Amino acid sequence: MIVNLTLFTGNMMEVAGPWTEVFEGSERMEKSNGADTLLGSSTLTLAPLVTDSPSVRRSQPILITSSRTKTVEHFSSSVPSIPNPFPELCSPSKSPVLNNSLPPTSSDKHLIKVYGEDNHSRSVWVSPRATAREVCHTLVQTAHCSDQENWALLELHPTLGLERCLEDHEVALEVQATWSLKGDTRLVFCKNYAKYEFFRKPVLFFPESMISDSADVSKGMTLSELIQNLLRSGTCPEIQGFLHVKEPSRKAWKKVYFFLRRSGLYCSSKGSSKEPRHLQYVADLEDLNVYTVVNSRKLYGAPTDFTFCIKPSRNPVRTQDLKILCAESEQTRTCWTSAFRLFKYGKQLQCNYQLSKLAPQSPEGTNLTENKSRSEASLVAMDFSGKAGGRVIQNPTEAQNAEKEEGQAWRRREALRCSLPNLNSGARPTSIHRSQPWFHGGVSRKEAQRLVEKQGLVDGMFLIRESQQHAQCFVLSLCYQLKTKHYLVIPCEDAGRKYFTMDDGLTLFIDLLQLVEFHQINKGILPVCLKHPCVCVAL
């Protein structure tokens, strides 16, 4: 033990320097002045340390002798081992709670922040080459999503009103590297049912009026067969048509005839002429991204709401680099944006589409709506009224009448069930729709259209909202053929009970949940059955 002491004997005497404290019973021998001295007296002896001995620091580790180590090992081995009741809490690598908050063991992981549609974010660790598809799969696992299909990452530029859906093969960190450090750009985790819809319904996405005259429609092929063959080969037909273009450094818009080919985007300087001397080169498809413009009328003074823009893919987003274009309809805008994607990525989109069909199916019972929509194509109209058993109804008019009759019979059965005396009225209140994912409260008509467009303009996408013009009424917003249609749901009374109807009382429903369940099976007055509920994704 090394101490610094000050001794008091009458007059104060200070002893400077380090000293060694030795007590009686010690067997230590100390060399002092060249002679061996036994320190065994009962008095306190202070002897100066040898000057050439190495200085001892308190922060140095203590060396435990071998004899003491053996003793400790012998003592610990005699105590019975107690199993750890919570082994997962002792290893962060195996802990489900700490997995997302602590960095992984490998040093090549990067932290990426993704937002939900409720503006809350979640951070996940991804590899440097992680694709958008892999990031979505990680978010599905960490956020415990009920299904693993139709998810997408949305690149959102709120200030400029730009957004685009990342392709499944794009590397997320490479996309983030092109962003400005001072911008508000973010990645949003959302649903997108229309990502590969042009592979399923190509004629709807590429109308005959927009296909270039140079397309080879000869050889006895129809337009539908031509488009199908082009899509299978990883390309699409050449597109042409008028678009409004915003002139640089001016607020005016000019109507110009554009041509989209494999070699790039061109515009005509003289009407719709395609002569080489009238064509002007606009952009290279390999070095650009196409974005949808939100709120384009307010931000850019666009003549319509169907606006999109193209910009260089490797540069930060700057207003002077944006080429803003405006179409006359949603179908026209969708045709142009789909053609841009197909010409740029080609066969890669076909591979992405095939991989999306191999995605794991939803757990049984978690998403009945999607399961119904998948099997709808295999359903046929049957008639079981005869004595010889069921028959397939071939006549479309007869099948439609059978559907109406079945709907009326279903309504009568439900009304009878609800009028039974033992029915507990509190078991299914009329406000049950507020807990459903397809109900969006008092959003406006424009916002409802925006929500449907954001998750994909596919047939059967729907939501229900409160009407802003009619008190106690609701509106069913439904997507059909790239357009959002709105149907008013009116409350009414029959025999003292409150119902909801969309066809002037011909078909009655006790609540909105029953209305949705009915139209998921029967079209009724709707052009298509309800398939995909428009939901708000929260992380």
Nearest to 306 by CA among 483, 488, 58, 144: 483
What pLDDT is recorded for position 33? 45
Note the pTM of the prediction, 2 decimals.
Answer: 0.68
Ordered by where they begin, the domains of the chain are 2-77 (no CATH), 110-191 (3.10.20.90), 197-357 (2.30.29.30), 380-419 (no CATH), 434-539 (3.30.505.10)
DSSP letter (8 states) at residue 177? H
DSSP letter (8 states) at residue 40? -
- Per-residue pLDDT 10s for the chain (539 aa) are 444 444 444 444 444 444 444 444 444 444 444 444 444 444 444 444 444 445 555 555 555 554 444 444 444 445 556 666 655 555 444 444 444 555 555 558 899 999 998 888 999 999 999 999 999 999 998 887 777 778 999 999 999 999 999 999 999 999 999 898 888 899 999 999 999 999 988 888 898 889 876 555 545 677 788 888 888 888 888 999 999 998 777 778 999 999 999 899 999 999 889 898 999 999 998 889 999 999 999 999 999 999 999 998 877 777 788 899 999 999 999 999 999 999 999 899 999 998 888 865 544 333 444 444 444 445 566 665 655 556 767 677 777 777 767 666 655 555 555 554 444 444 455 578 888 989 999 999 999 999 998 898 999 999 999 999 999 999 999 999 989 999 999 999 888 888 999 998 888 898 899 999 999 988 889 999 999 999 887 77
DSSP letter (8 states) at residue 82? -
User: Are β-strands 532-533 and 461-466 bridged in parallel, bridged antiparallel, or unpaired?
Assistant: parallel
N- to C-terminal Cα distance for the chain? 60
What pLDDT is recorded for position 485? 94
**Cα–Cα dist 311/162, whole Å:** 11
Do you know the residue count of the chain?
A: 539
Let me know: does 484 contact 532? Beta carbons within 8 Å: no
Let me know: does 5 contact 18? Beta carbons within 8 Å: no
Question: What element of type H or E holds 3?
Answer: strand 2-3
Buried b (16+ CB within 10 A) or exposed e, 161-197: bbbbbbbbebbbeebeebbeeeeebbbbbbbbbbbbb
E strand residue ranges, 357-482: 382-383, 391-392, 461-466, 474-480
